[in-house]
Amino acid sequence: MNFSPLWLSLKVAGTATFIVLIIGLPLARWMARRQFYGKTVVESIIMLPMVLPPTVVGFALLYLFGKNGWIGSWLWETFGFQIVFTWIGAVLAAIVVSFPLMYQSTVAAFQKYDVNVEHAAYTMGASRWKVFWTLSMPLAWPGLLAGLILSFARSLGEFGATLMIAGYIPNKTDTIPLTIYFAVEAGDKETATIWVLIILTLGFSAVFWLNWWSKRNVFAFTTGKKDT
């Protein structure tokens, strides 16, 4: 059996989750601490991929990153590089659909604790960088971790937008969801069943670990003991 869909899916989901973290963490931190005119509109745009059909997201990505798209044509003419029908296209689709989960969880995490704790650290001479890494991050870490796990799981299961921008090319863009779909289309239910079980195991493991970790840490926080 060819396991390239598994390795590709893990690579796509891992890469997308890392990029979502790099972009989402500072953005969520900034949005959680700022009030400005039009903030509701900006947040609505960020959360939009959660409510749009994946095919609409895929169409928008094609419109922007296709060879004739605004960004895609510039990439092709300048660097001779295209995103469509590559695994990078699958990463791009995963980033767009998973980013709202990361953003929502991280913003909620930064808003959960009292901001006066940070202000007190500033008045004692701590730099913003030090306050962020030694105070803000530890306090927000549970929500941040939840966002990471959910983003990874969402990236792993992305189908519609990936199909439109990356297509289905064996050993190149054949993620697990696409492999399942085309196996069913070909009447190969045995292969489809195997991949369904694999992605179910991966998704369940991620969510189960997150729930276990969250309950364990809540128990430790309230009792001072670790839940075994």
pLDDT tens across 9-44, in order?
A: 999 999 999 999 999 999 999 998 888 899 999 999
Q: What tokens does 38 get?
A: 């039009």
Q: What is the pLDDT of residues 177-217, one digit of tens each?
A: 999 999 999 999 999 999 999 999 999 998 898 888 777 76
Q: Are 135 and 56 in contact (CB under 8 A)?
A: no
pLDDT recorded at residue 222: 43
Q: What share of the chain is helix, strand, coil (3-state, %, to 5)?
A: 80, 0, 20
pLDDT of 69 above 60: yes
> Domain extents for the chain?
4-174
Give the HSE-up count for residue 88: Cα atoms under 13 Å, Cβ half-sphere.
7
Cα–Cα separations (whole angstroms), residue 122 to 28, 68, 110, 117, 118? 20, 50, 17, 9, 6
At 64, is the pLDDT very low, low, confident or very high (cuts 50, 70, 90)?
very high
pLDDT recorded at residue 52: 92
CATH number of 4-174: 1.10.3720.10
pTM of the entire predicted model: 0.88
